[in-house]
Structure 1
């Protein structure tokens, strides 16, 4: 990286085109080496160089030192930038790297770039934004480059993400002196964490397959691994009068940037070939906090009129919100009607209810098979609807929480909540919730049994029946609509696209 700061002989210097990588890293000493190892594996386009910027953001560990060691180990042209008192977390770190190349528009002294810096800026043809816990698959970078260079109006190309499956915890000897450290690293996990990881993999696979079916345009260029065109980012800076492309106005800064690119008529695509391996949320608590941040950020972008940015995918995002609400309504209504019907002895089974169950089973089997590196047990549990239903209920709880907070104007810091959960500063209330739910269900069963004669009396049945019929009719229509949606999704999965 010496020629980055060497200013001698500028006028006679020819600088090759290059890709620069921005890796914001807050206390990532355990993961940064693997991230940089993935960059060391990459093939580069002909006559294109690669420079890596690791932004050690407010670190209290050895992230900077580990990055420098890994850069030397993998023969990378690497520069470590450090931030202090950065209040904007990932956004501030990314913008710090941007300013190190393109200058700081807020500098009071209006410092001009040196001739060398101007030449270096002109040589940058692609900016790869990565998370420190992500790893590119071999040849991913050249696939991203080919996608970005395939047309002048492409502003960014995102890799396809796949969650890394933890190794079996049983592979570590209990006598291993580093046993607890290895478990804490997340590299190993038990059956629950491995199962939970697959659910996230399958969810991501479903999203990627849907985007590919509809042409490959995406409403979010994920921060885990996206290659941007520098001119597109500069366009966003200029049009929005910013000091850097990334903004702290949203918990989903990558989605906000993507919408701004689309508004400025830049295309935002996913690569059909480039793959990036990312860490999944290994626990219920960390997953809930991550999805809460994602969902609340999305809802904020959709509903906040002060954020003057829209996307051509807005209709799709609203349809997704409506579909989730319908999934919630169908399940709540079904449980309510089933409980009342059984309690009043008015439940009648109809075989027509097998149709949506069969469609859901078929859909989830297909998704499980199309999920990269799936296991036989994942396909079996998907077909039995055990895994999809549990996973869906977790997301429905998050969906409800996000909208309740939105309607109550109870704004929370999604980044802070997620980081505190991942660092173990907060704990899940899952056990308390399960316990409370169990007590509630047992109470209902007890009351229904105790007052069975009254509930099954003719007067009560006659009074309840019209409401039950209306409820079942509404549920039937909702179920028909959901079944048609599943049929359409099964149809879109018939192609050879890979997640």
Structure 2
């Protein structure tokens, strides 16, 4: 007698009880207009060394596609000799979540089916044979042997619900290597393999950010608060338990912009461990412009803040405190920089600025920290290490993230809910434009006006009366700012200490 996931019914497989069906890993790949990437994703699966006695089946969901994703996936299945099943969705309103749940229902049945279609003996046996579900993005590619490492991690203990690969952003090739006389110039550009200096710079910053996050997780034991959707191997029983305990029609939910984080928290709530593999690697695409990066990060940050503050979900994990501390660190980073700029401007304008060598300490610590991170980032370039040491790249990248942080909390406090998925899709498709240039010009205009006003009224601003009136406030401000800077310097010292180990990003 066996119990079938997706059904409370227990039955005997009388017709095929002597039939042996090998254990298998099933890959779920939602693909919305991914004609440029799907072949490379499937090629990565073809190169995998499967665990002994385990088979691999691939389900590609051509989700609301208007390009050749379905056709290319079918051709790749024949070319690569993969066992590929194509599921085509139309009018799917739940995007990636709906695509993932469509594959789940294809295998385990639809709990919302009012006709209660009985599963065949073959379908029941197939369900039983699925021992791992690999969730992948269509624009990601597993490194060789990654699937074996994920499997080893998942099978190392009965209470492990999911194991995530370590992600590394793929650096685009130099656009300058292409000759404009090449008859395939435009086609190669369209492929996404090439990028200019800014695209490569943005890619490295995200790669270093990811490396920092992975090193932090490994230092704390390898447990993760988000099993990223780019490449995670799940235990089917864990997903089924989440679905049943939350009365869902599929394990993935559309209630959050970060469906992978929500699923991870629900797994942990049910007692399952969620880990990052120390050896499995997956190569993923980065956002290659300020506009696409900002929209992606706003979606991620907004989803995280919503999970942290949503009392209806009642979800807490061992990482909740860490996430709140991360939010507080961002707040302090923003506060220190804004206060420093205001204090510096006021001190210079009133001729009361005095240099103190104590400010060299946090600058030096930040330089050391970012240099170590740059060196620990896989496939780093010399220019990346130099810019990290000089704090040019880290400071620019941090300011962009701090603007995202401020925007997310402003929208949260004003109850202005936006569709993060739609905004990201439109940005990546080029349907929306960045306002970076307008913002920079507006900032330069304001700064110029302030400098002109300070110069024009310099005699008044540097008078004894103004200095006497402003001096106590400046003194209190510098003391408070020094205290905050010392506190953040201690945090940087701790981060440098955690990087002393042999963990690899």
Q: Normalized against structure 2, the TM-score is what?
A: 0.97
User: 1:133 — aligned with what?
Assistant: 139
Q: Secondary structure at the match of 2:213?
A: helix
Tell me the equivalent position of 1:386.
392
CA distances 1:253-288 after superposition (whole Å, capped 9, x unpaired): 000000000000000000000000000000000000
Residue of structure 2 in register with 1:224 after alignment: 230
Q: Which moved more, 1:174-183 or 1:37-46?
A: 174-183
The residue correspondences of 1:119-158 to structure 2 (distance < 5 A) are 119-158=125-164
**SS of residue in 2 equivalent to 1:366:** helix
Whether 1:359 aligns to 2:365 is yes
In the alignment, what sits opposite 2:340?
334
Distance 1:277 1:475 in 2: 41
Secondary structure of the residue that 2:450 maps to in structure 1? helix
Partner in structure 2 of residue 464 of structure 1 = 470
Partner of 1:209: 215
Total equivalences in the alignment: 493
Which residue pairs with 2:167 in the alignment?
161
CA distance in 1, matches of 2:253, 2:188: 36
Aligned residue runs from structure 1 range 228-247, under 5 A: 228-247=234-253
Cα separation, 1, equivalents of 2:92 and 2:197: 38
State how far apart, in whole Å, the 1-side matches of 2:182 and 2:331 are.
48
Question: Which of 182, 198, 210 is equivalent to 2:204?
Answer: 198
Q: 1:459 & 1:183 partners in 2: Cα distance?
A: 63
SS at match of 1:24: strand
State which of 272, 283, 290 in structure 2 corresponds to 1:277: 283
Contact 1:126 1:228 in 2 (8 A): yes
Change in CA separation of 1:432 and 1:181 when aligned onto 2, cut-off 3 Å: farther
Alignment-derived partner of residue 3 in structure 2: none
**2: CA distance, partners of 1:185 / 1:464:** 59
Q: CA RMSD in A?
A: 1.1
- Say which is worse superposed, 438-447 or 272-281, in terms of deviation: 438-447
Q: 1:36 aligns with which of 30, 42, 46?
A: 42
Select the residue among 316, 320, 324 that pairs with 1:318. 324
Contact in 2 for aligned 1:134/1:279 (Cα 8 Å): yes
Distance in 2 (CA, whole Å) between partners of 1:180 and 1:326 is 46
Q: Deviations over 1:430-465 (max 9, x none)?
A: 110111111111111111111100000000001011
- For residue 313 of structure 1, report the CA deviation from its aligned partner: 0.5
Shift of 1:186: 2.2
Deviation at 1:298, TM superposition (A): 0.2
> Which residue is 1:4 aligned to?
none
1:479 equivalent among 482, 485, 501 = 485
Aligned residue for 1:339, secondary structure, equals helix
1:11 Cα deviation (Å)? 4.5
Q: State how far apart, in whole Å, the 1-side matches of 2:368 and 2:80 are.
A: 45
Distance 1:10 1:453 in 2: 96
- Check the 8 A contact 1:91/1:253 in 2, yes or no: yes
Task: Identify the residue that residue 5 of structure 2 maps to in structure 1.
Answer: none
1:328-386 CA deviation, whole Å, 9 max, x = no partner?
00000000000000000000000111000000000000000000000010000000000
Q: Report if the CA contact (8 A) 1:145-1:227 is conserved.
A: yes
List per-residue Cα deviations over 1:33-89 (Å, max 9, x = no partner). 000000000000000000000000011111011001111111111100011111000
The 3-state SS of whatever aligns with 1:21 is: strand
Matching of residue 117 in structure 1 with residue 123 in structure 2: yes
SS in 1 for 2:475: helix
Q: Is the 8 A contact 1:156 1:229 kept in 2?
A: yes
CA distance in 2, matches of 1:91, 1:310: 22
| Residue aligning to 2:302 | 296
Gaps of 5+ in 2: 1-12
TM-score, length of structure 1 as denominator length: 0.98
CA apart distance, 1:12:
4.1
Structure 1 residue runs of 5 or longer lacking an equivalent are 1-6
Is residue 106 from structure 1 mapped to residue 112 from structure 2 by the alignment? yes
Q: Which residue does 2:411 correspond to in 1? A: 405
Matched with 2:99 is 93
Return the alpha-carbon distance in structure 2 between the equivalents of residues 181 and 12 of structure 1: 53
Q: Is the 8 A contact 1:186 1:282 kept in 2?
A: no
Partner of residue 309, structure 1? 315
Q: Deviations over 1:212-262 (max 9, x none)?
A: 000000000000000000000001011111110000000000000000000
